[in-house]
Chain A
């Protein structure tokens, strides 16, 4: 009897302890299930191969679209021309576009040519590698809330740092249209914008081994979370429903367009009432390091500048934005290699009523190649390619030139003008030192006002202006382009030129529209 009683007590005690343990377990942060990453080991090897050989596409990958009405049998017939005989089920579908991966044939150009000849195929092209055209200032980060500056708006860094807005007379533009409205959706196709404050577990090589680390993310302190809607990731994870910025570029671009303004905090944005659709189409250093670790490949296998944006992801990002109500799309991404997929995505977006602003490229000093998708813009009404200027309204030293350049906007130029702003474009984004590749374990929850320069920074000025025009009733992308062009301030050679296009955007004049004579 006594033993039985003790047994009961012991059992109850165990049960109580177990219950207590369960309670504690429930109190622990729930570990996120490891997402499936889009870039497995084979794909990462292909990227490394591309880098070694100086290729502008992912080896063994082709973006293709079948003609309408092609059933599965016909699609398979087209694929049968490929030596490795891929199956239709092997294709990675993104809407009506498919990505074929054939690692046995790394020459994507040859592979695309084979497929393009098939009667069932509308087009096939390599999956090009795009870049984000930015030159970053990694050194200087200013603290928020400089109390000595009085400016309009009341954001303290507007007067001291945001020479770009004064240059284009945004103050008077805001007199006409104070920041657009929340009914306007602007998509930023880029490295992403963090939409949730949370910590996420990722595998990461931390210097000695691959470990699971908890990386903190936070929404930008000057970009209200409720203004970030319908996020979509086309490049990092297969689920794609969450977006995090592990680079800072996407957040900086979005901040030029829409940073919270008149909140007595940090800096201002142009269309500060719009809502932003974060579309992640680019991978940076940390995404690649995570995917290397997920593929069980320890080591620092990624260079700091190895980030890229597959053209298929860019195109699908544009289509997604158009399908989800974006009236303005910013694409601060580019590279050599003409992509029919990207061009089709741009024309599709315009047909859905979205104006597309595209950075013209930072490659003037690197041979000044034709940059895509920017170079499509000159032949598409409703899309504009944007060059960069500095404080003196000279072309920024890096800004690509060509007959595809249509318009110019401030992009920053540290060789042009000094002062506190050093000629850069300042917006709130991730603190570079905290997300730097020099860290073993980064963090993505700290923000400050950071200076960048590039045509990446120029393009969102045009996107922000387009958003203001949309809110004023200019609902057709072609009309937005026509108005921006008609009211631009001519720079350089009289008329349209390869450096500045039609000239420097003039938001006040554009918002004021056209009268009879002026």
Chain B
């Protein structure tokens, strides 16, 4: 009986020895420093960017525009406005550009085009409503890169000489676009930038004319844009 009690007591001592040691050491630790919170980053204010633009449109309906206008690369002029940093880098955009070009009505046989000397005038105005994200880059953070996308509404007009009723075309077509670009601050408020867009405007053409022969129905394509304006 005595031996059992001695064993039990010995085990208890062994178990409690580290705690006893620790308890004895506690009075020697310094008390932990009180927790500190990092200060929140300074908030970037919402801004606005106004700009004029020049578009170089590389039309998806290449054969159609080459045949009728002599080139599938069209140049447009316009302007737009971005509201920047709406929320954590989000920006909103509204912009438009206008393309006007003259060409000729044609006959087509295979790959051969026969101009007929009948004048043709094209007018296109893509209107953009979009959004995306911007992020500053560089040491001094005077440049921003951005990506985004949105909706397009293309106002399309095609007129020709010797037109009768219903020969000319005037209609609006919905589409979408994706954009990526860079802009940089010049001075305090001036702003310049370049961006690339990919536009899709399906089922706009292709129901008649040369576009039907070539099976091209997309008024979109690839656009390179140069912009210059002010940023606040």
Contacts and interface: CB of A to CB of B under 8 A. Distances in A.
A295 interface: no
Nearest to A472: B116
Interface of A: 172, 175-176, 381, 469, 472-476, 478-480, 482-483, 486, 508, 511-518
Given A469-B107, A478-B109, A482-B108, A516 B116 contact: no
B169 A176 contact: no
Given A513-B104, A516-B158, 5 more contacts: A476-B109, A482-B109, A515-B209, A515-B210, A518-B158
A516 B107 contact: no
7 contacts: A469-B107, A478-B110, A479-B112, A512-B161, A515-B158, A516-B68, A517-B205
Interface string B60-77: 010011001000000000
Contact of B107 (A172, A176, A474): A474
A57 B156 CA distance: 60
Contact of A473 (B116, B162, B207): B116
A512 B118 contact: yes
Contacts of A511: 116, 118
B116 A515 contact: no
Contacts of A518: 158, 167-169, 208-209
B167 A516 contact: no
B158 to A, nearest CB: 5
B205 A472 contact: no
A172 B162 CA distance: 8
B117 interface: yes
Contacts of B97: none
Interface string B27-70: 00000000000000000000000000000000001001100100
Nearest to A381: B109
A496 to B, nearest CB: 15
B17 to A, nearest CB: 94
A515 B117 contact: no
A512 B169 contact: no
B160 to A, nearest CB: 5
Contacts of A486: 212-213
A55 to B, nearest CB: 40
B158 A514 contact: no
A183 to B, nearest CB: 15
Given A172-B162, A516-B210, A476 B64 contact: no
A469 B114 CA distance: 10
